[in-house]
Structure 1
């Protein structure tokens, strides 16, 4: 299993972080953290992973249906993503800004059903955070690598069930959902060095302790070495901890599948255009 803290503009200072792990004796064991400083490196890493895996990725997998219909874009998910991938970021910003400008104050953005439930930023937002660009950069790379997206990527277009590509599965994750369950509104990270305070360090340690003790509704316990625990607590940006939170969401989805849910915990009522944040 894996959890991915994604960036649409990764660098050596702010890399994409992937937490690799497995379930063992009732615990989720963190085995390795991978850091990738470019989208090309990320694409190559995806292509080099032949083993079957299930991952939760911290980026939106779809756009609000209201937005797509208003813009006149295809309402089939694959066709919509194909169209979206052909646009430049400037074109995306212009289209979304025009959509917002035509709407009243307090209701500028369209929301997916899952965004409202999870408390995540609307997937059409292009600043603070630029999740629209994360979708634009991330989803095409998953598809190019032959990864299957349950509930979205049509099975008819996917590789056969016996092929390795068909055994690599990506779900949309959101670490903030699990973090808020433990911390409430306490902040545990910041990219701004001036805001990397002792209080945020304490919050990270409290969150890690809760995950290790299984004090969340996911019913999972995280297994860390002392060195891993220190590394997660010391990362003031929170990128490695976010990747681990996504790993736990992937583990929860795997348990749903093992219990007989072929949808990995995704609701049957999920809009196949918008997508869904696993565990929401």
Structure 2
């Protein structure tokens, strides 16, 4: 396991990902920098194509990023399907499959299993409270992995515990799997703060976004970081009823936490096929 940057000056990014981005539902990338225990939110950028995000990640700049999509599949699933058990070989196999074939194979796997235990899980799913990475609907994280991992490989990123990346001198790019729901639940409990459906974009969810931002600014999470942002940026995050911009910021905070720690804040031993969610 590589040690982390321990650097407050390193550019940080958080990415709220979509496997099928569009102008209506773009990928959101938050940019920031650590100043001691304060995380300064410096910008928000939108990408309505996967290629656009891929080009941004592959620019010859260093970054540590938190990405809201799974980096690995459950070992149990991989063994059952007879797929490669080396992470890079597995990803090359998986990402070359059409989505329809992935759905058919995963559905057949689930159909053969008992009610209540249809999906295989990664070791990090339970502590993080995340969806199994083989889920193809609500949310389609299996397709997010399928679309996202090739962008990280193209960028030459280091995926700690999974893939050594390609280092060009000190121009290091480090990708950490993030999950905004983990941090949001710590601060809000089960309160919902977002919805893509217009009818569900309620005052209660608006208030939850305000409460979540206030907690982040006060540094009330166990990450021990305080979010610093302008009034205009705060208003922008609160106004985004889809929660995509806020989710990108939550991923940014998780990346910042990992960047401060030895081994990127990951457990000393993680399954080199499944990966781990930073701060879980």
Work out whether the TM-score is over 0.5. Answer: yes
**Aligned residue for 1:264?**
264
**Aligned residue for 1:65?**
75
**Aligned residue for 2:169?**
162
Say which SS state the counterpart of residue 223 (structure 2) adopts: coil
Matches within 5 A, 1:247-262: 247-256=252-261, 261=262
2:68–2:178 Cα contact (<8 Å) kept: yes
Matches within 5 A, 1:108-123: 108-123=118-133
**Aligned residue for 1:222?**
227
Say which SS state the counterpart of residue 66 (structure 1) adopts: helix
Aligned residues: 269
CA distance in 2, matches of 1:159, 1:278: 21
Say which SS state the counterpart of residue 81 (structure 1) adopts: helix
Cα RMSD for the two superposed structures: 0.9
The CA deviation at 1:47 is: 2.1
CA distance in 1, matches of 2:23, 2:38: 31
Segments of 4+ moved more than 6 angstroms: none
The farther-off stretch of 24-33 and 103-112 is 24-33
1:235 to 220, 236, 240: 240
Q: Normalising by structure 2, report the TM-score.
A: 0.94
Matches within 5 A, 1:23-34: 23-34=34-45
CA distance in 1, matches of 2:51, 2:192: 31
2:156–2:167 Cα contact (<8 Å) kept: no
Q: Normalising by structure 1, report the TM-score.
A: 0.94
**Aligned residue for 2:211?**
206
Q: Deviations over 1:44-73 (max 9, x none)?
A: 22222x221100000000000000000000
Describe the shift of the 1:150–1:161 C-alpha distance in structure 2 as closer, same or farther (beyond 3 A): farther
The CA deviation at 1:269 is: 2.0
The CA deviation at 1:26 is: 2.7
The CA deviation at 1:200 is: 0.1
